[in-house]
Chains A and B, each alone.
Chain A
């Protein structure tokens, strides 16, 4: 914990005399302050010459400490917050929407896991296009593999009478940032947080940020994970928490992609990044591609409010220029079968 003298810069009340007084009771750092009996300290302060200043110092210290912890919320407030602020964003694909009962949730961290070329980047771009076009929000896309293709996103946008103007409007709401290592990732997210906080204060009514995509998070974490020391894992968990905090505080849906690794003896593939990462995302979706036909399957590995569900859909690429829904046509019969087999009629 920080020594008390560092707090003097911002709070002039914690000056030399206050620190001497605290030191005489064995309080040198903020941690000591928290552990000490504060009533006793106030009583001792009464006896000193500059009692008022000392008591003011104690109150300022307490308020600083309170600022560091998050506010209490009860169930009603949480429910209100959920209903008012946290909507679901359509993912742009009907199949995915029906699987997730609406789409990606704001305030939630959704993870797409899949082997190579199973469609994860396509889903990310589809979601970006859908949010920018239909939900009137802006999108922040962090790309680590040079796979962001503005041309592909332009294909996802429905044409109309004024296709060019619409495309310009929609594409200008998507901003893309390339990041190649974890420290730059932290800096970028920090910058984003600062910008969002200043926006909230200024009440700017531009398109508010609704979707944050990180494609892919595993390629920034894999170089530091493992090896001696747990520093890599600490950074990974810190990154996960930062994303969840951004999602919750600013009502953003966060979408990340992860890759799969072979699971040794059992032969099946499992998501990368290990056991520690497993508990961090709110929703985990596994994509797998059948090599023989171009069917892809999405299954829910983990969801905070739904049970395990499997969905099959087709990826149809390279539409004609007039095609709208170039990604996915759902097969509703299979869903119905699954729901009924689970006891829901």
Chain B
């Protein structure tokens, strides 16, 4: 239990240690006025330090004999049931859903990257519409946050996809009416657009500030079930002289997204661009932002062209095998490339 473990600024920490307070027990036995006098800091700072020290000692001394060794750890058996019951956001393309194990999973950070024009923004818009499919139709019934850094979100396209989604739901209800009694489709395309929270970000500082603010925003709007960032790379590719600083900022942002995903059980989808890398004597396409960023997501999907068809490939996943599937972008949104029928199977 040492003082250097407290999250303090280095100057205050230096003063604490040179005054002799190297262990937390020595801090907790002192009043804040004495501490302020000994260490030559203001009394409010001393009070903060004492509060932090008490929190740390309090949390580590009440770990008795809970069955999981540390408070807050969870059993894999309980997690198994939770994982199996976790809802997934469909992409409206059943081949893609199949390789994703049912769709984009909540509580995960998924990175989707590809060459320009392959359909990343289309997937983003499709997901922000699909997350709002009500529970009766197999969806999540939640809202979406769309963070746009490039300005590629088109409202007309979102309206088009929303209308197609509502039409499909009505067709499905009509089908179900013949066999079972199903509820009426209450949603209108306008409602779908109302539930997409759109943020336009123009610099990397705005992006970082927005990510920090998201925690508060989502606590106030508890229905948000997906956060889409299109694209996460744009502001970090230029204007950064210090690459080490960029790595630090990016890894911290990645951790914040992970924390958001876990805390609120939502899906985070990050869209990424590509760059060329010179490896083993040839130029290859790789996702932008470097090697350190490639570890900051839970799942990764790479979109690429194969002849005339668009393909998606699962590059990284803790529990899904590597597989690829093809999809197309139609007027109604993302669909299977092989099917020519207009009806889409709902889950």
Q: Are B64 and A234 within 8 A (Cβ)?
A: no
Asked if B73 contacts A177 (CB within 8 A), the reply is yes
* Contact flags B32-76 to A (C-beta < 8 A → 1, else 0): 000000000000000000000000100111011110111111111
- Is B252's CB under 8 angstroms from A223's CB? yes
Q: B332: CB under 8 A from chain A?
A: no
Residue of A at shortest CB range from B52?
A: A183
**Chain A residues at the B interface, C-beta cutoff of 8 Å:** 1-3, 6, 9, 29, 115-117, 121-122, 125, 138, 140-141, 144-154, 167-168, 171-178, 180-181, 183, 186-188, 190-192, 194-196, 198-199, 202, 204, 209, 216, 218-220, 222-227, 229, 231, 234-235, 238, 259-262, 267, 269, 272, 294, 317-318
CB neighbours of B68 from chain A (8 A): 175
- B residues in contact with A147, CB < 8 Å: 298, 318
Which residue of chain A has its CB nearest to the CB of B68? A175
Say whether, besides A172-B77, A183-B5, A317-B321, A145 and B70 are in contact (CB < 8 Å): no
Contact of A176 with B72 in the complex, beta carbons under 8 Å? no
Q: For the complex, would chain A's binding face be called helix, strand, loop or mixed by DSSP majority?
A: mixed
Select the stretch in B22-30, B204-212, B219-227 that faces chain A.
B22-30
The one of B79, B294, B315 that contacts A176, using a Cβ cutoff of 8 Å: B79
Contact A222 B248 (CB under 8 A): yes
CB distance from B160 to the nearest CB of A (A): 33
Say yes or no: B73 contacts A175, CB within 8 Å: yes
Q: Is the CB of B181 closer than 8 A to any CB of chain A? A: no
In the bound complex, do residue A262 and residue B291 qualify as a contact, i.e. CB atoms below 8 Å apart? Answer: yes
- Selected A-B contacts with CB under 8 Å, 29 pairs: A2-B20, A2-B22, A29-B20, A116-B315, A116-B316, A117-B315, A125-B318, A145-B298, A147-B298, A148-B79, A151-B80, A151-B83, A151-B84, A172-B76, A176-B76, A180-B259, A181-B255, A183-B5, A190-B5, A191-B71, A194-B60, A195-B69, A216-B295, A219-B254, A222-B247, A222-B248, A226-B245, A231-B13, A234-B4
Q: Is B292 interfacial (CB 8 A cutoff)?
A: yes
How many A-B contacts if CB must be within 8 Å? 192
Contacts of B83 in A (CB 8 A): 149-151
Known: A219-B255, A317-B322, A318-B321. A150 touches B79 (CB 8 A): yes
State in angstroms the CA–CA spacing of A102 and B315 once bound together. 31
Q: Once the chains bind, are A226 and B295 in contact (CB under 8 Å)? A: no
List, in ascending order, chain B residues with CB within 8 A of A235's CB: 4
Most chain B Cβ neighbours within 10 Å, of A146, A154, A234: A146
Contact yes or no, A202 B65, CB < 8 A: yes
Complex alpha-carbon distance, A171 and B81, angstroms: 11
Given contacts A121-B318, A223-B251, contact A198 B65 (CB under 8 A): yes
- Chain B's nearest CB lies how many Å from the CB of A233? 12
Contact A145 B248 (CB under 8 A): no
Cα–Cα distance between A232 and B49 once the two chains are bound (Å): 20
Question: What residues on A are CB-neighbors of B60 within 8 Å?
Answer: 187, 190-191, 194
Query: Is B296 at the interface (CB under 8 A from chain A)?
Result: yes
